[in-house]
Structure 1
């Protein structure tokens, strides 16, 4: 698979919560890095089962796909409908827009590692979450 095909397959997998596709796309020693820390295949699979339930009707747009050999960088936007389950924010079937960047490390044409940076704070604010400054 070429880098653009891998990226599109990844976002389709996330949109559907497709565990079988993940088995095909990722190496056995897959590692993910993100705001919540570092995880393994099982950590990611837990997220993959949760994500499309919390954010349904996903419409991903790959803004940039940069091929760097064994690294692929994707800048993306995902528009979806929030159903609940994120940071204890109530689900109100509201539209939300998420943007971010994912770096994939490939090994033998499969994804061995990911680094994810997203706009979690903006997503939470779109859903009615508030940021409070610490009191003096």
Structure 2
């Protein structure tokens, strides 16, 4: 697969929660890095089971795909319908937009590692979460 195909397959896998596709496109020693820390295949699979249920009807857009040899950088946006399960924020079928950048490290034509930076704070605010400044 070339970089664009890998990126599209990744977002399709996330949209559908497709564990079989993950096994096809990720290495056995896959690692992921993001706001929640670093995880392995099992950590990612737990997330993959949760994500499409919490954020349903996903409509991803790959804004930019940049091929850098064994690295692929994707700037993306995903519109979805929130069903609940994120930061204890109630789900009422709210429309939400997530944006971010994900870097893939490839090995043998598969995804070996990812780094994700997303707009988690904005997503929480779209769902009614509030940031409170500490009182002095």
Same fold (TM over 0.5): yes
TM-score by length of 1: 1.00
Q: Which runs of 5+ in 1 are unaligned?
A: none
Q: Which runs of 5+ in 2 are unaligned?
A: none
Cα distance in structure 2, aligned partners of 1:5 and 1:27:
16
Q: 1:105 maps to what in 2?
A: 105
Q: Deviations over 1:51-103 (max 9, x none)?
A: 00000000000000000000000000000000000000000101000000000
* Cα root mean square deviation, aligned: 0.3
Alignment of 1:56-95 (within 5 A): 56-95=56-95
Equivalent pairs counted in the alignment come to 136
Give the ranges of 4+ consecutive aligned residues of structure 1 lying more than 3 Å apart after TM superposition: none
Cα distance in structure 2, aligned partners of 1:122 and 1:91:
16
TM-score by length of 2: 1.00
Cα distance in structure 1, aligned partners of 2:92 and 2:122:
17
